């Protein structure tokens, strides 16, 4: 079992709709969670981080964390074609140095 799992997609959503991305992790000691967006041929760009159970909103993005169920999700409201990218879930399991363990990413395609 991979430490951080994501559905590879592609997740196809119409413009203006909500895109819902899920990520599960195996280590119950995981302390913090990150969502990165990666356009094709580019490096990962931080979108959000979340440490506590519940929801965290930033503009059109909402991160949701449920430590009991070991999942973290990302909602993208009013999806735009420019949101088409691969979204990477990353987990800090609390190891020294805060190294991140990444999921394989979910490819999102927003259709006009």
Partner 1 sequence: GAGVSQSPSNKVTEKGKDVELRCDPISGHTALYWYRQSLGQGLEFLIYFQGNSAPDKSGLPSDRFSAERTGGSVSTLTIQRTQQEDSAVYLCASSFGGETQYFGPGTRLLVL
Which region, judged by CB under 8 A, interacts with partner 1, from 19-27, 56-64, 70-78, 95-103? 95-103
The stretch near partner 1 (CB under 8 A) out of 13-21, 63-71, 72-80, 94-102 is 94-102
Decide if residue 21 touches partner 1 (CB under 8 A): no
How far apart are alpha carbons 19 and 81 in whole angstroms?
12
Q: Name beta bridge partners: 18.
A: none
Beta-strand runs (E) in the chain:
4-6, 11-14, 19-25, 32-38, 45-50, 54-58, 61-66, 71-76, 85-92, 100-102, 106-111
Question: Where in 29-68 is the site for partner 1 (CB under 8 A)?
Answer: 32, 34, 36, 42-46, 49
Shortest Å, Cβ 11 to partner 1? 17
Spatial distance between the Cα atoms of 34 and 40, rounded to a whole number of angstroms? 19
Residues in touch with partner 1 (CB under 8 A): 32, 34, 36, 42-46, 49, 88, 92, 95-105
């Amino acid at each position: 079992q991979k430490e951080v799992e994501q559905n590879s997609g592609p997740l196809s959503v119409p413009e203006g709709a909500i895109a819902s991305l899920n990520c599960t992790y195996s280590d119950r000691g995981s302390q913090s969670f990150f969502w990165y967006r990666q356009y094709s041929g580019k490096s990962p760009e931080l979108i959000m981080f979340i440490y506590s159970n519940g929801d965290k909103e930033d503009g059109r993005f909402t991160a949701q964390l449920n430590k009991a169920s070991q999942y973290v999700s990302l909602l993208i409201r009013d999806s735009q074609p420019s949101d088409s990218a691969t979204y990477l879930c990353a987990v800090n399991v609390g190891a020294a140095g805060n190294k991140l363990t990444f999921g394989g990413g979910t490819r999102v395609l927003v259709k006009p």
